[in-house]
C-alpha cells in the first residue's frame, strides 16, 4: 500500500526544502508532468506521508529570543499521570517539541520563550507546581546551529 518510488522521494525532498515550488517546476525537476506531480502530492498527503504544510517563522523576529532544552524526570510512571503530563506539555504554546524518552530522563522538551523571566514563570507552572515532576534540568541554547524537521529521503535503500 505504502511504497514510495524514486519520484515520490524526489518530490518529498524538494517539497521539504521549499513547499512553494509550483507543480510545473517540481515536474521539471523530477521529470514528470504537472498533472502527475499534482496526483502524487495529493496521494502523499492523503496517505499521511506529508503531514502538513507550514510556514517556518523565525522566533527571534517575533520576540522569542531564547531557546531552551529542558529534561524532566517524573516521580511516577503511572499511565494516567504520564498522559496528563503529555497533554499539558503538548498544549503549552512555548513547548515546540516534547519527547517521551527512555534513559536518564523521562521527557525532553524544546522550548521557545521571549526571555528568562518567561521561562522562569513556565518552570513554576509546568514543573514546580506539578507533583509528578521529581526534578528537571535546563540547558540554554546559545546558538541554534540547525533547526528543522526534514527527514532524509535520499534515493536509495528501503
Interface with a second copy (CB under 8 A), residue from 46, 77, 80, 93: 93
**In the complex, minimum distance from the CB of residue 35 to a second copy, in angstroms, rounded to a whole number:** 19
Nearer to DNA, 48 or 103 (CB): 48
The phi-psi region of residue 81 (left if phi > 0; otherwise alpha if psi is between -120 and 50; otherwise beta) is alpha
**In the complex, minimum distance from the CB of residue 40 to DNA, in angstroms, rounded to a whole number:** 6
Which x/- pattern over 9-28 shows residues binding a second copy (rule: CB under 8 A)? x--x--xxxxxx--------
Q: Do residues 119 and 66 touch, judged by C-beta distance below 8 A?
A: yes
Q: How far is CA 128 from CA 26, 32, 52, 99, 133, in A?
A: 50, 56, 35, 19, 7
**In the complex, minimum distance from the CB of residue 153 to a second copy, in angstroms, rounded to a whole number:** 5
Q: Which of residues 98-157 bind a second copy (CB under 8 A)?
A: 98-105, 107-108, 110, 112, 114, 137-154, 157
Among the listed residues 6, 1, 32, the one whose alpha carbon sits nearest the alpha carbon of residue 154: 6
Q: Do residues 111 and 67 touch, judged by C-beta distance below 8 A?
A: yes
Site for DNA (CB under 7 A): how many residues? 16
Backbone angles phi, psi at 88, to 5 degrees: -60, -50
- CB atoms inside a 10 Å sphere around CB 92: 15
Interface with DNA (CB under 7 A), residue from 9, 14, 29, 34: 34
Q: Which of residues 47-76 bind a second copy (CB under 8 A)?
A: 47-59, 61-64, 67, 69
Q: Which of residues 136-155 bind DNA (CB under 7 A)?
A: none
Q: Residue 24: which H helix or E strand, with range? A: helix 23-30
Q: Which residues are at the interface with DNA (CB under 7 A)?
A: 7, 22-25, 31-36, 38-42
Amino acid at each position: 500500500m505504502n511504497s514510495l518510488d524514486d519520484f515520490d522521494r524526489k518530490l518529498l525532498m524538494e517539497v521539504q526544502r521549499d513547499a512553494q515550488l509550483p507543480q510545473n517546476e517540481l515536474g521539471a525537476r523530477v521529470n514528470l508532468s504537472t498533472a502527475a506531480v499534482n496526483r502524487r502530492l495529493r496521494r502523499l498527503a492523503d496517505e499521511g506521508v506529508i503531514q502538513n504544510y507550514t510556514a517556518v517563522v523565525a522566533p527571534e523576529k517575533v520576540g522569542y529570543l531564547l531557546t531552551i532544552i529542558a529534561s524532566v524526570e517524573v516521580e511516577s510512571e503511572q499511565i494516567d499521570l504520564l498522559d496528563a503530563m503529555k497533554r499539558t506539555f503538548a498544549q503549552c504554546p512555548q513547548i515546540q517539541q516534547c519527547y517521551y524518552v527512555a534513559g536518564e530522563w523521562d521527557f525532553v522538551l524544546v522550548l521557545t520563550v521571549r526571555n528568562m523571566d518567561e521561562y522562569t514563570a513556565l518552570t513554576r507552572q509546568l514543573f514546580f507546581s506539578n507533583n509528578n515532576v521529581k526534578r528537571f534540568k535546563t540547558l540554554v541554547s546559545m546558538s541554534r546551529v540547525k533547526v528543522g524537521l526534514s527527514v532524509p529521503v535520499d534515493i536509495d535503500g528501503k
